[in-house]
Structure 1
C-alpha cells in the first residue's frame, strides 16, 4: 500500500485514543492532553477504567463508540495491539497511530495481518506520533506543539522528533506535517513521499532516515516528489564500513553510505549532513529554487566580511564570478574611488542606503551569478533603513539575492524585512555560502532526476549469447571467479575493447613462445583461480623486452607464488602486449551489488593504489550517456581527463561507452556479483581494458529486476502492420525521444490538441516535454507508434499514456494520433496495447476524462468496452472507465 487511507491519518474528522488516561506522566495522558488542547474534530477517549476524561465521555471499548473514528491512537500494552487493530478495522476505522513500544516480531506481524483485510493504515509502532499544525492535530506525546508552516518533517528517530520540534520552535519555523515513523511497519518513507509530494500545504520535505526497506518503492516515490518540490535528507550511519571480504576493488570501495549518496543524487533529492544544514537548505530551496547560477558575487560594506565569504566559497567549491568591464565601469560611477574593484565588492563601511541600491543595481547586470549581500551594522546608517531601501530590488524575480545581516539586535529588524520580502537570509557568510552550494548540488541532482535511460542503448553492440556462454561455462565448472582471459573475453563480447591475451601453461618456455608471437614488449601475469589480486603476490611483470626477461620473470613469479601462496593452484600464465600510451590515464570501472539498492556502478582513478587514492564516484544503473558523463564529472580525475598543458583531452565517449556497457551487462546478466576493469587505459585515441576481474553468483544478485530504478522495458516492444499496410513499431517512450515527440505534437491540428489536452496551444516547453518522455516505468507507461524515415531515424505517429496512482488502483489514460493519419485503426492499436499492459501490470481499472464533443474518442472507448457517464463536476466532460480485473 502507499497513499491509500492516508487522508484518514493526516486529516481525520474524528480521533479515538485507546488507553487515554489521567495518570500523570503516562503516554496515554500526554497524547490525550495534546489532542484535546487543539483538535477541533470529534474526540473519543477509550478506557474501561474511566467514565469521563474532562469534558469528554469515556468509552469502555471500541464497540461502545458512537461511530467508527477516522483515526485511532493506540497507547496500550504491546500484547493488546493486534486485537485492537482487528476491532478497529472491523468497526470501519481506516488509520491508526501505534505509539506503543516493545512489540515482538510476532506481535507486529499479527498487527499487520489484522489490518490487511480492512486496508487500515498504521503509523508506528514505537513512534512519538504525528502533528498536523494547520488542523490543530497533535496525535503524539511530544512535549510541545508545532507551528503551522510550509515544511514537512518525517523522522525515524523519536528522540530526534522532539529535539527538532524544540529547536524549530525556538526559531519560529513552522510545519505542514511533523511525523515520527517509528518502526514503520506499514507507513514508510515511500508512502510519506507520495502523500507529501502532492500535498498543497507542503513546500519542502525534510527527512531523517536511518534505514530503507523497499528501495524501488522509495526511489519511485522520491523521484515523483522531487519533481514537485525540494526533498532534503539527513541520513544516519555515514561511517558504515564497506564489504571487507569483497573479491574486487569495487566491492571493497562501494560502502553502503556512498551508495545511498548515489541513490539520493539519482532521485533528485539533496543530502545534507547536519540538522542545521537541513533547515539552511530548506529555506534556500523554498525561496531561491529557480536560481540556476553557478557563480557568486559578494556585496559587502566590510573587507573582513568579504574575505570570510570568499574563504567559505573556496572551501565549498563555489566560484566567485569575475566582474565584467561593463559592470566595473558602472560601479566606478556610483562608488567611492577606493572601492575594492573586484569580487568581493566592498563598497566601504560609510556607505549610505543609496550606495547599496546603486551597487546592487549594477551587479544585477551580471545575470549568470547570484549575489550574496553581507552587511555589518554601523552607526552611520541603521541596518533597517538599508533593508527597506534594498528589499524591493533584492526581491525582484527571478531571485538573485541572498541576505546576510551580521550581528544580532542591531540587525533583527533588517532580517525581518528581508524575510518578509521572501529573500533568503542567513546569520553568517559561511551559512549563506553553504546554502548556495546546496542549491547548486540540488540542481545537478534534478538534472539526473530527469533521466530515465534505456537498459539497452541502440548504439551498444553486445553479443549476449556469447556472454551467456562464458557465464554458463564458469558456473557449470563450479567456479565463481572468472580467470583473467575469461573476464576479458566476456568484456569483449559486451562491446568493451580489451588487450589481446594468450594463455599458456605454467612453463617459462611457453611464456617465451607466446611473447615471441605477440611481439615485444609484453606483460606477464600469473593465472590462478585461487589468486584474485595478482599484484599482491608479485604475479604481474610489465614491460618485458626480450626472451631472457620473460623467462627470468616467469621463473621468479612461480617461485614467489609458491612461497607466498603455497596452496594456490597455478593454471599457467597470460601474456599480452605492453600497451604504452604517452598521455594515457589509468581508470577503474566496476560494479558490485549493494544489499539494499542492488547493482551499483563505480568509476574513478585506477591503478594498484586505487583504495589509497580514493578518487571515485558511484551511480545506480541504468545509465545512458548523460548519466555516465555525470558520474565521470563527480571525480577529481575528471579535470585531468579534459587535458592540460601538452596533454590532449581523453576521449570521453570511450569512457561513456564502457560505463553504459557495464550498465547493460548488469541488466542482462543477473549472475554478475562483482566486476572490475582496472586499469582501463584511456587517452585521446580511446579506451582499452588491460585487466579485468569478474565474480559470478548463481543466486543472480544483479539483473534489471534488482535495479532500484526500473530500466527501459525493452521486452514491451512490438511490431504491427495497419490494415493499409503501414508497418509500425509500438514501443515505450524514451528520454531520447524528446525532439521526435516535439515534432509529433507540432504536426497536430490545434483542434485535436484541444480535444486531448483541453487547450489549443501548440508550442510546448522543454520541461513539459521532459515530463512526457522521461517517465518512471514503475508508475507510468507511454507507448508510441513509430515508423522509419527514408533518410534514417524514425517519426512518431501516435501516442498513448497512462499514469497509475501509487496504489495501482486506477490509471488515467490519454491517446493521440497524428491528425493526418486518423481513421487507419492506430487509435485502436494503441489503446489495445495499453489495456493489455495495464492488465498485466495488475492495475484494477483504467479511467479517463473526454470532452463531450470528442465523438471519435467516445466511440473508440465504447468499442473497447468502457462505460461512459456524465462527469460529476462538469457537464461538458464525460467520465470513461474500464475494469481490468
Structure 2
C-alpha cells in the first residue's frame, strides 16, 4: 500500500477518539487520558453516542457528522460490530487515517460470514482511509508528545522505532526499555494488520531522519515481496533487528501448509530475513543487547575476539559461548605476547583469553589495552571485571574508558555482579561503550554484530559471472509446458533429466526398460556392472523418500554383474514396490552403469515452493542424514555465486566437503553452479513446483546428478525477489560510430565495467552527475550502484564490445529511484565523454521514461546543475519542465508520465 497518508498517522494536527468515556475501564478513555497526560499539542475531540458535553474536559460530539473539522486521525474504540460502519462514516467526513484498537474482530463475524476485520479493511479501501489495526495497542511518537495508546506508561524519546504485532509484548517492552534508558522515535503495534503493514511502516521509517534503528516483532509476513523490498532499502542505511515468534508448529497461531521437503516454517523466515539484511535475534532480551552492540560498537574490521578478565572463570564462559555461536578467538602476535609478559605474573598462560589476575589494577587494565591496540591481529576486545576486595570497580572502569580514547579497538565490557558495579556500568553507558551483565550476553551481542555485518556484506557483494543470460533454453520449457497442457502434475524421469541437461547440468547416462527382459538385454550390451532403479508414478515426485521414510523403501540396487543377480534384484525391487506403493503405476526400470567413477559427499539439492513465500532453493545432505541432522538449508531465488556459496556454507555438508573432498574448491564451485542453475530454471519455467536432484555426486569434471524428479503446479510461481528482467533487453546501433550496443538492466556482475566507466569520466562529468568532484569510487560505492532491487529501482546500462580488445565496456547508464508509492521516480544519467553527439543519452532516458510510464509511475523528477547545458538541452528535448530552485541552486526537472488517478496522488504532488 505504501506510505500514503502515513504522515497524518504519525504527525496529526488533530485527533478524534471514537467511543471514549470517563468510565475507568473504557478503552477510549484510557487513550484520551494518555494523550492529554503526554501533552499532545494538537486538537482533541471525542465522539460518543451518549449526550456528553465533554469527556475528561474534551469536547464531545454525538455523531461523526457533527464534528466541526475533519481530523487528521481517528482512534476507534467502539464494539466490534460498529467498527465497519464507523470507518465508512469517518471516510465520508474526510478522515484519512484511523487506528482501530477494538479487539476480537478476527473472531467476530459479519452478516456475510467473514471475520469483521475484513469488513473493516474493505470499508477503509472503499473510502481511502489508511487503517492501523484492528486490535492494536496504538501509536507513540514521543518526540511529538503523542501517546495514542492504552499502555500503562509512556516511552522515553529516542532514536529507535519499534514495530510489533502483539500489544501485550509491546507493553512489557515499554517497561523494559524505560528501565534500561532506551528511548523510541516511534512505537506501535500492527494488531491484525488489515491495511498498514510492516512494509508500509518500514518504508516510512527508512526516510525519517529521527529514526536510526528499527526493531521488529514479527508473527507472520502476509506480503513477503513488499516486505523484503522495503527492508532491503531500510537496512542499507540503519540497523533492522527482528524477533520472529511462532518458531515451532506448536506455537504457531494458525497452522500453515508446509512446502515439500521442509518440515517447519522457521527456516523460511530465517532465509527471508537474512536476504533482506535483517539481524534476527532469538528473543526480546537479545533484541536490546543487539541494539546496544549495533548502535554503540564500531564496525567490525575483523571477526576474531580477544577476551581479558581478572580471573580464569569469566574467560572460560566467554570462550564457550563464542565457540557455540561460531566465533573465533584472535591469535596474539609474538610481539604482543612478549609485551604482555612484562606486565603479567610469571605464570601467565601467554595466550588469549588473557587472565589479568584477581588483583588486577586499573593501570594493568589500561596498559593491556594499549599493548593490544598495537597488534594488527586484534580488532575486538571484551573487557571483563569481577568484583574484588583489592580494587574499586569504578576506578577500573575509568581506566578502561581513558585507554579506549583514540584507539582503533572495538571495546565492549562486562562488569559482573549487580550492587557494587552499577556505577561502573553507568559510566560506560555515559561515554557510549557497550556494557553487559554477563559474559554470555556480551559474547552473544558481539556475534550479533558480526552476523549483522555479514548479512550487510551480502547486500554489497558482487559475484563472479556464471549464468549466461543469452543461451536458448527453449527445449526445457517446451518439455514442461507440454506436460502441463496435458494435465500432468509431474515429469517422467527421462523428461526431468532432459530439462536439467538443457541447462547444462550433467547427469548419469540412463537407459529405460519396460521389464526384466529389457534390463537383461541392456546388460548384455553394456557388459559391465549396472545399477537398477524401479520407476513408478509416485516415485517421480521430488522429496518422496522423506515422506516414505528414508531407508524403509528400497528403490535401487547397485553393482549387478550377472544375469541371475539382475533377475533376483528386479524381483526384490518389484516386491518392495508392491508392498509400499501398490496403487502407484509401474513405469519400468532405469538402468545406469555403476557409477564407481563418481564419489565425494552426496548432496540433496532442489527447488520447493511455499504458498506464501514462493519458490525456494534447498541444499543439504542426501540420504537419512538430511532428517537426522536437519541439514536442509534454504535460500530465496534468484541466486548468484556469492549467495549460493553463502547457502552452501550454512550446511553441515559444507564442512565435510572442505575436510574430506579430494578437490574441495572445485567441488564447492560445482555445487554453487548447480544451485545457481536451479534458481534460474525455476525463474525461467515458473510452472515447476518442485525439483530434487538426489544424490548430487562429483567426478573430476564437476557435479553429476544421479537422479532427478520434477513436480508441476497448476499456476506459475513468482519469486518474492524480482529476478533479472531479461525482457527489457534491447539492441541499438550508434549512428556515428556504427557500434552495436546492448541496453539492458544492470547486473551485480557488472561491477568491474561499472567501476571502469566512472573512473574514465572527466572531472566535469563526475561533478554534473554527483554534484561534486570525486576521484575515487570504492567497492562499496559501486556495489550499491549495481546491486539493485528491480522492484524499487531500475538501472539501464549500455554495453558494447571493447574497441581495443576482448570483453565489454559500459558506455552509459541511466538510473531511476521510485518511491514506495510509485508516485515519483528520480533519475540520473551519464554517458562516456567521447560519445557526445551519438544520441546515447537520449536513448537511455527514453528507455527509462517508457519503463516508468508502463509501470504506472506518475511523475519523473531530477536535479541538474545550472551550468550542465547538455543535460538541460536533453531534458528540453524530452519534454521536461524546468524550474530554478534558488535554495538549492539547481534546476528542478519534472515530467508527467501518467495522470494521477487518486486524490492523495494529486494532493502530494501539489504539496511538492
How far apart are 1:245 and its partner, in Å? 13
Alignment pair present for 1:402 and 2:402: no
1:622–1:663 CA contact under 8 A, matched in 2: yes
Counterparts in 2 of 1:881 and 1:476: CA distance versus 1, 3 Å:
closer
1:717–1:732 CA contact under 8 A, matched in 2: yes
Partner of 2:99: 97
CA–CA distance in 1 between the matches of 2:282 and 2:772?
45
Q: Name whichever of 177-186 and 847-856 sits farther off.
A: 847-856
Partner of 1:375: 385
Alignment pair present for 1:42 and 2:43: yes
Other structure's SS at 2:715 match: coil
CA–CA distance in 1 between the matches of 2:567 and 2:236?
63
Other structure's SS at 2:236 match: helix
How far apart are 1:344 and its partner, in Å? 0.8
How far apart are 1:76 and its partner, in Å? 1.8
CA–CA distance in 2 between the matches of 1:61 and 1:395?
63
Alignment counterpart, residue 315 of structure 1, candidates 324, 339, 342? 324
Partner of 2:537: 529
How far apart are 1:764 and its partner, in Å? 1.5
How far apart are 1:451 and its partner, in Å? 5.4
Alignment pair present for 1:856 and 2:907: no
1:453–1:623 CA contact under 8 A, matched in 2: no
Alignment counterpart, residue 896 of structure 2, candidates 879, 882, 885? 882
Alignment counterpart, residue 740 of structure 1, candidates 723, 730, 753? 753
How far apart are 1:592 and its partner, in Å? 0.4
Matches within 5 A, 1:243-392: 251-253=260-262, 255-288=264-297, 290-368=299-377, 369-392=379-402
Q: Name whichever of 873-882 and 263-272 sits farther off.
A: 873-882
2:732–2:743 CA contact under 8 A, matched in 1: yes
Other structure's SS at 1:319 match: coil
Partner of 2:780: 767
CA–CA distance in 2 between the matches of 1:76 and 1:453?
55
CA–CA distance in 1 between the matches of 2:661 and 2:613?
41
CA–CA distance in 2 between the matches of 1:817 and 1:645?
48
Alignment pair present for 1:53 and 2:55: yes
CA–CA distance in 2 between the matches of 1:596 and 1:618?
15
Partner of 1:710: 722
How far apart are 1:681 and its partner, in Å? 0.4
Alignment counterpart, residue 755 of structure 1, candidates 748, 762, 768? 768
Unpaired runs of 5+ in structure 2? 546-550, 900-912
Counterparts in 2 of 1:323 and 1:311: CA distance versus 1, 3 Å:
same
Other structure's SS at 2:659 match: coil
How far apart are 1:582 and its partner, in Å? 7.4
CA–CA distance in 2 between the matches of 1:245 and 1:279?
30
2:531–2:556 CA contact under 8 A, matched in 1: yes
Counterparts in 2 of 1:552 and 1:245: CA distance versus 1, 3 Å:
farther
Alignment counterpart, residue 522 of structure 2, candidates 498, 514, 520? 514
Counterparts in 2 of 1:525 and 1:121: CA distance versus 1, 3 Å:
same
Deviations 1:674-719 (A, max 9, x none): 111110002554210111111112322x3xxx10100111110110
Alignment counterpart, residue 653 of structure 1, candidates 669, 674, 678? 669
Deviations 1:186-215 (A, max 9, x none): 110001111122222222211111111111
CA–CA distance in 2 between the matches of 1:167 and 1:222?
26
Matches within 5 A, 1:207-246: 207-240=216-249
CA–CA distance in 2 between the matches of 1:676 and 1:645?
23
Partner of 1:784: 797
1:868–1:881 CA contact under 8 A, matched in 2: no
Counterparts in 2 of 1:92 and 1:562: CA distance versus 1, 3 Å:
closer
CA–CA distance in 2 between the matches of 1:696 and 1:645?
35
How far apart are 1:518 and its partner, in Å? 3.1
Alignment pair present for 1:554 and 2:570: yes
Unpaired runs of 5+ in structure 1? none
Deviations 1:256-281 (A, max 9, x none): 21111111111110111211111111
1:779–1:804 CA contact under 8 A, matched in 2: yes
Other structure's SS at 1:286 match: helix
Partner of 1:616: 632
CA–CA distance in 1 between the matches of 2:197 and 2:749?
33
Deviations 1:531-588 (A, max 9, x none): 4557644321011123332222123322443344333332211100111247511111
Partner of 2:607: 591
CA–CA distance in 1 between the matches of 2:482 and 2:640?
30
Counterparts in 2 of 1:707 and 1:397: CA distance versus 1, 3 Å:
farther
Partner of 1:77: 79
2:859–2:898 CA contact under 8 A, matched in 1: yes
Alignment pair present for 1:501 and 2:510: yes
Counterparts in 2 of 1:86 and 1:648: CA distance versus 1, 3 Å:
closer
How far apart are 1:450 and its partner, in Å? 3.1
How far apart are 1:58 and its partner, in Å? 2.4
Counterparts in 2 of 1:518 and 1:280: CA distance versus 1, 3 Å:
farther
Partner of 1:834: 848
Partner of 1:449: 459
Alignment pair present for 1:807 and 2:821: yes
How far apart are 1:94 and its partner, in Å? 2.5
Counterparts in 2 of 1:246 and 1:81: CA distance versus 1, 3 Å:
closer
Deviations 1:461-485 (A, max 9, x none): 8652221232234335543232322
Partner of 1:422: 432
Counterparts in 2 of 1:452 and 1:428: CA distance versus 1, 3 Å:
same
Partner of 1:201: 210
CA–CA distance in 1 between the matches of 2:308 and 2:583?
69
CA–CA distance in 1 between the matches of 2:519 and 2:812?
62
2:880–2:893 CA contact under 8 A, matched in 1: no
Other structure's SS at 1:516 match: helix
Partner of 1:155: 164
Counterparts in 2 of 1:443 and 1:863: CA distance versus 1, 3 Å:
same
Other structure's SS at 2:67 match: coil
Q: Name whichever of 373-382 and 477-486 sits farther off.
A: 477-486
CA–CA distance in 2 between the matches of 1:337 and 1:719?
75
CA–CA distance in 2 between the matches of 1:125 and 1:304?
51
CA–CA distance in 1 between the matches of 2:713 and 2:57?
66
CA–CA distance in 1 between the matches of 2:593 and 2:746?
44
Counterparts in 2 of 1:85 and 1:246: CA distance versus 1, 3 Å:
closer
Counterparts in 2 of 1:617 and 1:396: CA distance versus 1, 3 Å:
farther
Other structure's SS at 1:542 match: strand
Q: Name whichever of 55-64 and 374-383 sits farther off.
A: 55-64
CA–CA distance in 2 between the matches of 1:397 and 1:842?
52
Deviations 1:296-346 (A, max 9, x none): 110111111111111222222221122111110111122232333111101
CA–CA distance in 2 between the matches of 1:445 and 1:726?
40
Other structure's SS at 1:643 match: helix
Partner of 1:2: 2
CA–CA distance in 2 between the matches of 1:536 and 1:559?
13
Counterparts in 2 of 1:871 and 1:879: CA distance versus 1, 3 Å:
farther
Alignment pair present for 1:168 and 2:174: no
Partner of 1:605: 621
CA–CA distance in 2 between the matches of 1:610 and 1:112?
43
Deviations 1:239-261 (A, max 9, x none): 138999999xx823353211111
Q: Name whichever of 547-556 and 109-118 sits farther off.
A: 109-118
Partner of 1:845: 859
Partner of 2:655: 639
Other structure's SS at 1:604 match: strand
Q: CA RMSD in A?
A: 2.4
Partner of 1:793: 807
Other structure's SS at 1:392 match: helix
Q: Name whichever of 274-283 and 805-814 sits farther off.
A: 274-283
Partner of 1:134: 143
Partner of 2:909: none
Q: Name whichever of 403-412 and 252-261 sits farther off.
A: 252-261
TM-score, with structure 1 as normaliser: 0.95
Q: Name whichever of 866-875 and 760-769 sits farther off.
A: 866-875
Counterparts in 2 of 1:488 and 1:536: CA distance versus 1, 3 Å:
farther
2:20–2:29 CA contact under 8 A, matched in 1: yes
